[in-house]
Structure 1
Amino acid sequence: MKYQKRKKALILLADGTIFHGKAVGGKEGSAFGEVCFNTGMTGYQEIFTDPSYYGQLMVTTNAHIGNYGTNKDEVESEGIKIAGLICRNFSYQYSRPAADDSLEDFLDRNNLLAISDVDTRALVSYIRDNGAMNAVISTRVDDIEGLKKELAAVPDMNGLELASKVSTKEPYFFGNENATYKISALDIGIKKNILRNLAERDCYIKVFPYDASLSDLEAFEPDGYFLSNGPGDPQPLSNAIDLTKHIIEKGAPLFGICLGHQVLALANGISTYKMHHGHRGINHPIMNLLTGKGEITSQNHGFAINREEAEAHPDIEITHLHLNDKTAAGIRMKNKPVFSVQYHPEASPGPHDATYLFDTFIDNIKKHKTETVH
């Protein structure tokens, strides 16, 4: 069995704290990034391939990872985006008939270092108490001082621009070219299921690189604009923020998700901040302030918008609140067809309570087209 070749491994946090484990398979080496945790019971393949997780060491709180294998259709981007995996029990064998490969082989093909046999409950508790921080996972268990020096050189996530690392290099199309609606989407880390949700609603999407200009997006003659999810700090995304300001000035329909939500806030002069340890999981409770209804949502973000500034903004209305910590989870502009949410209505993984937001976007487009014609 492959797991008999496992080597000793460790997690070294930036504050010097060490947790011990074993390398998955026979893999050796080190992986650096900001350590974070996801509380989802399922959906590990979609999480590992979500561009929003680029540069992060993922701790999975579910006790068993890999037990249902992988499937080529359950990816959210091309290849794995997390920097490394930390789990309690790694399943080398899988039992799902729909699976086409083991998680171990999937990680090996993507050259990802993973460590198991970690006390993840203790590690997650430590992160919750002390906050997200940079870390390294490594099989160099006898070189702590060397790892500390290398870890000290890793840039902090606060102020780090990562969208350029995951964005498409060239524009591409998604959906049926004869669809009713055309969408120009800015890719700052877009998930495939967002594109699927738009295409299912009779949209033909052109996806643009993170540094695309307004004229690039306008040349497609879209009916609406979309700002995607993505990794890193939103504040360095000056091009995306300026682009959003121009779209707002046009009065065109605009929808933003996650990082796109933060970019929309910044375009309106609302600041963002790095959270203590972020929201990452598939059962986060949201209150829709417009309807009074609750939603169970999929979330993945380490930054948030300033709620007080949003509440004081004359053109902004807060539409959704996170019920655990009362952070602003959705906003809309009062006099324009522009809105965004901090969570993931496309889920994948997660519940589908919030898919209506895509319908809201289409309704805004229909209304805008009618008003423009008349």
Structure 2
Amino acid sequence: MTLFSRDPAVLVLEDGSRHPGRAYGAHGTTLGEVVFATGMTGYQETLTDPSYAGQIVLQTAPHIGNTGMNAEDPESRRIWVAGYIVRDPSRLVSNWRADQSLDDALVTDDIVGISGIDTRAVTRHIRAAGSMRGGIFSGAAAAVDPEEQLRIVREAPAMAGRNLSAEVSVSTAQVTPAQGERIGPLAVLDLGVKQSTVDNLAARGFEVHVLPQNVTIEELRGIDPVAVFYSNGPGDPAASDDHVELLRGVLDDGLPFFGICFGNQLLGRALGFGTYKLPFGHRGINQPVLDKQTGRVEITAHNHGFAVDAPIEGEVASPNGYGRVEVSHVGLNDDVVEGLRALDIPAFSVQYHPEAAAGPHDANYLFDRFRDLVVATLKEKNA
């Protein structure tokens, strides 16, 4: 049984709204962009997703923590959320795979949280007002003067304009061997890559080289990759000029490219399109997306607060000279661009998570599509 603290805590939003509750996880103060995630399951994968760096995550499902935490499901080396908001944390851990409680894991990774607040009310508020900066003040910090708490929140950096890739990326290259018939080395730019993504790529025959986010084009070429992959990650794509320039070098070399989430936004920028911040983003495991190539509607996992600004109908010329481009996938809730496909070079991307950890597996075929693109490009090159 987990014994929760009865110490006070308060969530303060930058518009001045306050939501009192109880301390959960580590005690203290934390600041970040408050966002909501709609998954009823998969909280361990959410917490360990590096894309959530700098964000205070609110779980819309009211009961969290019943299956505890285990050593098999983490998506990275630690919990990355800036803070955690739940309504009713489970007092019991009931799963044979669990080796610690969620509360204990939050304490271990020094994640400040809050429980016992009306998460539905906060979610509806963010839906109406948009994502905003917030702070959790717990324990002794909860007694700080409310005006001082609000000042601290309002002085915190906004997500727009932030480059967080260096905070979550590996510092040295890591290699995962290919499974089955080997295709060749794949260069993965780690902007916050998830372990499930690496596993999916290795399962398709790629020798996966996870590279630091500050790798140069010369260093990337040094592994003689058959293709390049850009991962998910946190921050504003408009603040990642170096990653865009690296990608333009990749496209100029004619290497096949696949990007997901943040990688989709950076492909958009490399092709010459802009990006913009969504009012409250897409987060959760139940987002409907139309694959325009097949006409199929997929239920997909999302975690993004920015999107590509490109026409969703027809083919358009790449403003940066990479030929014809089309929007391949569209979000059915709000017509947000959810995928790009270059028609004259071997490059495509999606805004959501085909690895779907946690989430539905409707989009897992995209890893096969990438493998087929790489194999076809290699055959054409060697013909």
Q: TM-score, normalised by structure 2?
A: 0.94
The residue type equivalent to 1:251 in the other structure is G
2:380 aligned with 1:371? yes
Name segments (4+ residues, structure 1) moved above 6 Å.
Answer: none
Partner of 2:218: 215
CA contact (8 A) 1:346 1:352 kept: yes
Partner of 1:236: 239
Report Cα offsets for 1:1-38 as digits up to 9, x if no partner.
Answer: 7646321111100111111111126x421110000000
CA contact (8 A) 1:51 1:230 kept: yes
Partner of 1:304: 307
2:68 aligned counterpart, secondary structure: coil
Report Cα offsets for 1:228-281 as digits up to 9, x if no partner.
Answer: 100010111111100111111122100000000000000011000010000000
The residue type equivalent to 2:19 in the other structure is F
CA distance in 2, matches of 1:133, 1:2: 31
Partner of 2:166: 164
CA distance in 2, matches of 1:54, 1:67: 24
CA contact (8 A) 1:3 1:24 kept: no
The residue type equivalent to 1:335 in the other structure is D
2:341 aligned with 1:342? no
1:235 aligned counterpart, secondary structure: helix
The residue type equivalent to 2:163 in the other structure is E
Shift of 1:308: 2.7
The residue type equivalent to 2:143 in the other structure is D
The residue type equivalent to 1:164 in the other structure is A
Partner of 1:54: 53
Identical positions, percent: 40
- Residue 273 (structure 1) aligned to one of 273, 276, 279: 276
Partner of 2:20: 20
CA distance in 2, matches of 1:218, 1:75: 31
User: Greater CA deviation, 40-49 or 163-172?
Assistant: 163-172
- Residue 197 (structure 2) aligned to one of 191, 194, 197: 194
CA distance in 2, matches of 1:191, 1:346: 9
CA distance in 1, matches of 2:10, 2:105: 22
Shift of 1:142: 2.9
Q: TM-score, normalised by structure 1?
A: 0.97
CA distance in 2, matches of 1:134, 1:301: 16
Report Cα offsets for 1:137-182 as digits up to 9, x if no partner.
Answer: 1123332122122222211101111111111111111124983321
Name stretches of at least 5 consecutive residues in structure 2 with no aligned partner.
318-323
User: Greater CA deviation, 241-250 or 297-306?
Assistant: 241-250
Partner of 1:142: 143
CA RMSD, Structure 1 to Structure 2 (Å)? 1.5
CA distance in 2, matches of 1:4, 1:195: 36
Shift of 1:91: 1.1
1:204 aligned counterpart, secondary structure: strand
CA distance in 1, matches of 2:109, 2:313: 41
Give the direction of change, closer, same or farther, for the CA distance of 1:323–1:309 in structure 2 (3 Å limit): closer
Within 5 A, what are the aligned runs for 1:1-374?
3=3, 5-24=5-24, 27-139=26-138, 140-143=141-144, 144-176=146-178, 179-308=182-311, 313-314=316-317, 315-374=324-383
2:97 aligned counterpart, secondary structure: coil
CA distance in 2, matches of 1:6, 1:28: 11
CA contact (8 A) 1:60 1:86 kept: yes
Report Cα offsets for 1:202-221 as digits up to 9, x if no partner.
Answer: 11111111111111111111
CA distance in 2, matches of 1:17, 1:116: 17
1:72 aligned counterpart, secondary structure: coil
CA distance in 1, matches of 2:314, 2:279: 22
Partner of 2:320: none
Shift of 1:100: 1.6
Shift of 1:196: 0.3
CA contact (8 A) 2:178 2:203 kept: no
The residue type equivalent to 2:375 in the other structure is K
CA contact (8 A) 2:86 2:119 kept: yes
User: Greater CA deviation, 203-212 or 42-51?
Assistant: 203-212
CA distance in 1, matches of 2:52, 2:88: 21
Name stretches of at least 5 consecutive residues in structure 1 with no aligned partner.
none
CA contact (8 A) 2:183 2:375 kept: no
CA contact (8 A) 2:274 2:310 kept: no
Give the direction of change, closer, same or farther, for the CA distance of 1:14–1:248 in structure 2 (3 Å limit): same
CA distance in 2, matches of 1:70, 1:233: 30
Shift of 1:309: 8.2
CA distance in 2, matches of 1:162, 1:183: 23
CA distance in 2, matches of 1:359, 1:164: 29
Shift of 1:197: 0.1
CA contact (8 A) 1:279 1:301 kept: yes
